[in-house]
Amino acid sequence: MTDLIGIPIQALSGQLLLGLINGSFYAMLSLGLAIIFGLLHIINFTHGAQYTMGAFAAWMGMTFFGINYWWALILAPISVGLIGVAMERLMLLRIRDIAPLYGLLLTFGLALVIQGLLRHYFGASGLRYPIPPLLSSGSNLGFMFLPHYRAWVLFISLVVCFTTWLIIERTRIGATLRAAQENPGLVEAFGINVPRLVTVTYGAGVGLAAFAGVLAAPIYSVQPQMGADLLIVVFAVVVIGGMGSILGSIVTGLGLGLVEGLTKVLYPEASSVVIFVIMILVLMVKPEGLFGRTS
Partner 1 sequence: MADTTLANAVGGLEQDDKSLHRAIFMGLALLLIAAPYAFYPVFVMKVLCFALFASAFNLLFGYAGLLSFGHAAFFGFASYVAAYTAKYWGITPELAIILGTGSGAILGLIFGLIAIRRQGIYFAMITLALAQMVYFFSIQRPDFTNGEDGIQAVPRGHLFGVIDLSNDMTLYWTVVVIFFAGMLLMHRFVHSPFGQVLQAIRDNENRAISLGYRVQRYKLIAFVVSATVAALAGATKAIIFQVATLVDVHWSMSGEPILMALVGGVGTIFGPLVGAAVITTLQNYLISAGSWVTVIQGLIFIVCVLTFRAGIVGTIANRIRRGL
Q: Which residues bind partner 1 (CB under 8 A)?
A: 42-43, 91, 94-95, 97-102, 104-106, 108-117, 119-120, 232, 235-236, 238-239, 269, 272-273, 276-277, 279-280, 283-284, 287-288
Closer by beta carbon to partner 1, 16 or else 49: 49
Query: Which among 255, 292, 294 is positioned nearest to 275, based on CA atoms?
Result: 255
Q: Residue 73: count other Cβ atoms within 10 Å of its Cβ.
A: 18
Nearer to partner 1, 1 or 90 (CB): 90
What is the number of other CB atoms lying within 10 angstroms of the CB of residue 108? 14
Burial code (b: 16+ CB inside 10 Å, e: under 16) for 159-176 equals ebbeebbebbeeeeebee
User: Cβ closer to partner 1: 29 or 106?
Assistant: 106
Rounded least distance, CB 77 to partner 1, Å:
23
> In terms of CB distance, is 51 or 69 closer to partner 1?
51
- State in angstroms the smallest separation of the CB of 136 from partner 1: 33
Burial of residue 247, with CB atoms counted within 10 A of its CB: 0-12 exposed, 13-18 middle, 19 or more buried: middle
* Shortest distance (Å) from residue 287 CB to partner 1: 4
Q: How far is the CB of 42 from partner 1 (least distance, A)?
A: 8
Judge contact between 249 and 78, C-beta under 8 A. no
Least distance to partner 1 from the beta carbon of 118, Å? 8
Angle at alpha carbon of residue 217, lines to 226 and 201, rounded to 5°:
75
State the SS3 of 63-80: HHHCCCHHHHHHHHHHHH
Q: Cβ closer to partner 1: 160 or 246?
A: 246
